[in-house]
Structure 1
Amino acid sequence: MGCPSITGHGAGHTLDGMPVHHRARDKIYHSIMLLSLRLLQQVGLFSGICLIVGSMIGSGIFMSPRAVLEHTGAVGPCLSVWAAGGILSTLGALCYAELGTMIRQSGAEYSYLLEAFGPLTAYLFSWMSIVVLRPASAAVSALTIGEYAAAPFYQGCSPPVLVVKSLSAVSILLILLVNCQSVKLVSYVQNFFTVAKLSIIFVFTVAGIVLLAQGHTQNLTNAFEGASLLPGNLGLAFYSSLWAYDGWNQLNCITEELKDPSRNLPLAIFIGIPLVSVCYILVNIAYLTVMTPTEILQSPAVAVTFGDRVLYPFSWIVPLFVVLSSFGAANGYGLTGGRLTYRAGREGHMVKILSFISLKHHTPSPGVIFNGILSMFYILPADIDSLINYCSFAQWAFYGLTASALIVMRFTRKDMKRPFRVPLVIPAVLILMCGYLVLAPILEKPQWEYFYCIAFALSGLILYFPFVRCKLSCLKKVMRPLTIHLQLLMEVAPAEAAE
């Protein structure tokens, strides 16, 4: 996995020992010499908050309430799971705030696991996250965009699968183009969609408060009657609610591009996550003021049913805002997924071209494009619930491992500066909760998704030892010319060239 570099300047010089057309060579060479080729710190506090809120509020709050209620069996446990999901996300984010202010490199979990446990653990995380978890999460949001964008044109029936998937693919392409252009453009887009989704959340919340004031409280009485509190069912209920909360760690993925991370990272977390938690609980209460638990379970789209009953004749705004909300979440995954790929490529855990940066836009465009292509593949399966279970199982395993990295580094990296510290009881509680979320559903209701996930994670070892650890020379011979041609085609270069 050799890293091509540009050498020489006059006619007849080569790129990594291979003849290159002099105009293309000189264009890249001059660009590197004139620009500081690194990711730029362009994300401020407001944009950081919008990234967290915009990534968390996606399709989950409009789709997950039915699944949470189904697994808990009653209103009381359902609302409790939503509240507990907010608390658990906050605990995780506090741990990540310490790690992010201590290790100021992009990649979030990857950088922390690399520092605490070494390259093998970090590689397995990057293997799972880059190839499966992040593109699959983006695909779920894209599929939601496709379903809700097509729904107005097929009233009375379900949209054709081909139409849904085509619209999903178009949304991924748009996100890919935006993320390749500039971090500022991505921030503007994310800020706009965050304001849009908070607007519909505000409308739902106000409607719920008005209905509660009018006495619509019958669905909130006897809240724990008929509850199903089996460990496996609670675990699956948490998966569905935590899917809606997922995204609380997104800001850590772009630490290198965050202004004053020691201040802005913890502050964005303290503002963003409680805001989302309060919104989720209020929206679920609003749903229950209009629909009975049975009606929620029978509704294919809870938010749309709510809109039809409360916002008519303006109920058409609900599908529109679901599309906007899902697009904002997918945009967040596009932004952070490219940075994780870029960070892993820098360490040699992915092919080196993925660690290169655009000369013109200062974005990790190869990593962004690679993640977009993988997301396209994940829109092919039609079962969104399976994708959610598949992703949540692996994500919370790695969240627990990252929390343990914080504890380990308290003893092995005592000399590292920690602008923000959390009591060790917080990562300890997070580890216990992650262990429960990983083991309870497997023991209570085994599903093939979990075993596929474990098998795929272990399959990364097949590539790690020959290609990453031993660095087989045959791979270098194949990748070197391919990397050079891609470098010239995309006008990218390694960030190390500027140092």
Structure 2
Amino acid sequence: MRKEEERPPSAADAEPTKLRLRRELGLASSVSLIAGCMIGSGIFMNPQQVIYYMGSPGGSLVIWAACGLLALLGALSYAELGTFIPESGGDYIYILRTLGSLPAFLVIYASTLLIRPAGIAAISLSFAEYVVAPFYPGCPSIPSVAVKFVAAICILVLTLVNCWSVRLATGLMNVCTVAKVLALLVIIGGGLWVLGQGQAGAALQNAFAGTSQQLGSISIAFYQGLWSFNGWNNLNLVMEELQNSNKNLVRAAVISIPLVTGLYVLVNLSYMVVMSPSDIRDSSALAISWGNQILGDWAWLVPVSVALSTFGSANGAFFGGSRVCYVAAREGHMPGILSMAHVRHLTPSPALAFTAAVALIMIIPGNFSSIVNFCSFVLWMIHGTTISCLLYLKVKKKDQPRSYKVPILIPIIVLLASIYLILAPIIDQPQMEFLYVFLFVLSGFLVYFPLVYFQYQPQLLKVATAQLQLFLEVAPTMKNVD
């Protein structure tokens, strides 16, 4: 009997009492999560795309500043939703609690099968490009097989890290955030040094000449810029793991987003000081091209820094994205196994493994620029719906207490920006791919009614869930709400 009492806990033992995810995120880790998710591949891959669609360096800088302002306004709006509905899950849980099951399912359907895994795939591909590039000096193009192989390794390593420990994942995020901020400061410092030498750069002469006036081009430039701010709402995805959530949610947004915006504007200015607009547009690895011109023998520091930056960003995307999948499964919109946590590590390992599997599929045909455009299109459909939920709650439940309220003008501005970002490219530059993405979202109806509304569960799924629960040593969890 003594040996029986001392045996390790099993998933079956943990099931009656259920588990909770730990509240491991303090203010510093919260700032690191937001900044770490935002500072990733975008600032090293997207500046040339923003300049291309805007037509001028000056217009490009305006877009970067406007993207930062929009991200801050969006984060402040989401902060009120987070204090009003203090659950993990972000957009999904807010739409579920406000609009009901079907709209929320369509959100989770698009998020778990398209947006989140595609985002992880895009970041991992950019990580791989900077890792592989030094091994192919002078080559006009890097072999895609090598890039995709390294991207797959990145995804698998991050899956293991996040499955092992929340503290290990957040520690890695903090280290990578410090490294990527230092990398951006090096680029900014190099630009300031060139300015100090009296070289203004060809890009800053007639900075606004040729600025595009087309709504579609401007919206695509916004997509490319906003991708670099993607992650401004990631703290809402992990509300149940956030310490002192009512205060830290707002504090983290107010600290991190203006900091990142300032860094982005100055980094773009440095690119423009050092390189001509044509050099910026033609570069396949912009930061490396900048480093080759400024750092000389120390240029190898740039790909190392960028690799750390994108690795940390992919880690943050994993951390937040898996929680959306986990919460949706807990609400009955995904298979039940995805709502479980490891009995010892207390991490949502099934949701992490599922997210990794879909991301691995996404890297096979993956193209960074196309992933950004079409995922951003769906993402801002979701953001617009979520902001509509906030406006509804502010009108219908204005007297219900919450610890933080944002002025109503702010969500109205974000909603109008969302509508513009959705409609402008369709009206001005229609593409069949937008129709395909829209049809993919609508295909969620075919899944929702049999599996969720009528709750049809194949016997094979029940057997597989039971076997996976034992194999993965996971058990059901309960909400961790104050």
TM-score after normalising by structure 2: 0.95
Partner of 2:55: 73
User: Which of 127, 138, 154 lines up with 2:120 in the alignment?
Assistant: 138
User: Which of 10, 24, 31 lines up with 1:42 in the alignment?
Assistant: 24
SS, match of residue 210 in structure 2: coil
Query: d(CA) in 1 for partners of 2:307 and 2:395?
Result: 46
Please say if 1:118 is aligned against 2:100.
Answer: yes
Query: d(CA) in 2 for partners of 1:358 and 1:417?
Result: 35
1:3-43 Cα deviation digits (max 9, x unpaired): xxxxxxxxxxxxxxxxxxxx99973344457x861111011
1:209 deviates by 1.6
Partner of 1:5: none
Query: d(CA) in 2 for partners of 1:250 and 1:430?
Result: 17
Please say if 1:191 is aligned against 2:174.
Answer: yes
1:111-159 Cα deviation digits (max 9, x unpaired): 1111111111111100000110000000001111111111111112133
Q: Does structure 2 retain, via aligned residues, the 8 Å contact 1:355–1:367?
A: yes
User: Which of 209, 228, 236 lines up with 1:244 in the alignment?
Assistant: 228
Partner of 1:206: 189
Amino acid of the residue matched to residue 466 of structure 1?
P
Partner of 2:67: 85
1:204-227 Cα deviation digits (max 9, x unpaired): 111112222222224323111111
SS, match of residue 313 in structure 1: helix
Partner of 2:198: 215
User: Which of 152, 170, 175 lines up with 2:153 in the alignment?
Assistant: 170
Q: Specify whether residues 415 and 36 from structure 1 end up closer, same or farther in structure 2 by C-alpha distance, changes over 3 A only.
A: farther
Instruction: Give percent identity, aligned residues only.
Output: 43
Amino acid of the residue matched to residue 131 of structure 1?
L
1:454 deviates by 0.4
1:494 deviates by 0.7
Please say if 1:181 is aligned against 2:136.
Answer: no
Please say if 1:56 is aligned against 2:49.
Answer: no
Q: Specify whether residues 495 and 84 from structure 1 end up closer, same or farther in structure 2 by C-alpha distance, changes over 3 A only.
A: same
Please say if 1:260 is aligned against 2:244.
Answer: yes
Q: 1:268-287, aligned counterparts within 5 Å?
A: 268-287=252-271
Stretch of structure 1 that moved more, 146-155 or 39-48: 146-155
Query: d(CA) in 2 for partners of 1:497 and 1:324?
Result: 33
User: Which of 292, 316, 320 lines up with 2:300 in the alignment?
Assistant: 316
1:377 deviates by 0.4
Residue segments in structure 2 that go unaligned for 5+ positions in a row: 1-5
User: Which of 97, 101, 111 lines up with 1:129 in the alignment?
Assistant: 111
Query: d(CA) in 1 for partners of 2:106 and 2:8?
Result: 36
Q: 1:430-449, aligned counterparts within 5 Å?
A: 430-449=414-433
Partner of 1:484: 466
Q: Specify whether residues 383 and 58 from structure 1 end up closer, same or farther in structure 2 by C-alpha distance, changes over 3 A only.
A: same
Query: d(CA) in 2 for partners of 1:421 and 1:191?
Result: 29
Q: Does structure 2 retain, via aligned residues, the 8 Å contact 1:32–1:359?
A: no
Partner of 1:8: none
Partner of 2:3: none
Query: d(CA) in 1 for partners of 2:8 and 2:252?
Result: 42
Alignment length, in residue pairs? 476
Q: Specify whether residues 311 and 485 from structure 1 end up closer, same or farther in structure 2 by C-alpha distance, changes over 3 A only.
A: same
Partner of 2:78: 96
Q: Specify whether residues 36 and 382 from structure 1 end up closer, same or farther in structure 2 by C-alpha distance, changes over 3 A only.
A: closer
Query: d(CA) in 2 for partners of 1:390 and 1:354?
Result: 26
Residue segments in structure 1 that go unaligned for 5+ positions in a row: 1-22
Q: Does structure 2 retain, via aligned residues, the 8 Å contact 1:72–1:237?
A: yes
Please say if 1:419 is aligned against 2:403.
Answer: yes
1:172-228 Cα deviation digits (max 9, x unpaired): 001100111111111100000000000110111111122222222243231111111
Query: d(CA) in 2 for partners of 1:168 and 1:188?
Result: 22
Query: d(CA) in 2 for partners of 1:416 and 1:179?
Result: 37
Q: Does structure 2 retain, via aligned residues, the 8 Å contact 1:32–1:498?
A: no
TM-score after normalising by structure 1: 0.92
- What is the root-mean-square deviation of aligned Cα atoms in Å? 2.0
Amino acid of the residue matched to residue 113 of structure 2?
V
Q: Specify whether residues 415 and 318 from structure 1 end up closer, same or farther in structure 2 by C-alpha distance, changes over 3 A only.
A: same
Query: d(CA) in 1 for partners of 2:362 and 2:230?
Result: 18
Amino acid of the residue matched to residue 482 of structure 1?
A
Query: d(CA) in 2 for partners of 1:215 and 1:448?
Result: 48
Query: d(CA) in 2 for partners of 1:268 and 1:25?
Result: 39
Partner of 1:20: none
Q: Does structure 2 retain, via aligned residues, the 8 Å contact 1:37–1:498?
A: no
Q: Does structure 2 retain, via aligned residues, the 8 Å contact 1:390–1:449?
A: yes
Q: Does structure 2 retain, via aligned residues, the 8 Å contact 1:136–1:391?
A: yes
Partner of 2:370: 386
1:485 deviates by 0.3
Q: Specify whether residues 240 and 212 from structure 1 end up closer, same or farther in structure 2 by C-alpha distance, changes over 3 A only.
A: same
User: Which of 439, 443, 447 lines up with 1:455 in the alignment?
Assistant: 439
Q: Does structure 2 retain, via aligned residues, the 8 Å contact 1:389–1:449?
A: no
Please say if 1:348 is aligned against 2:340.
Answer: no
1:497 deviates by 11
1:56-111 Cα deviation digits (max 9, x unpaired): 00011011110000001111111100110111111111101111122111110111
Q: Specify whether residues 208 and 498 from structure 1 end up closer, same or farther in structure 2 by C-alpha distance, changes over 3 A only.
A: closer
Please say if 1:297 is aligned against 2:272.
Answer: no
1:299-346 Cα deviation digits (max 9, x unpaired): 222211110011111001111111111111110111111110110001
Please say if 1:361 is aligned against 2:345.
Answer: yes
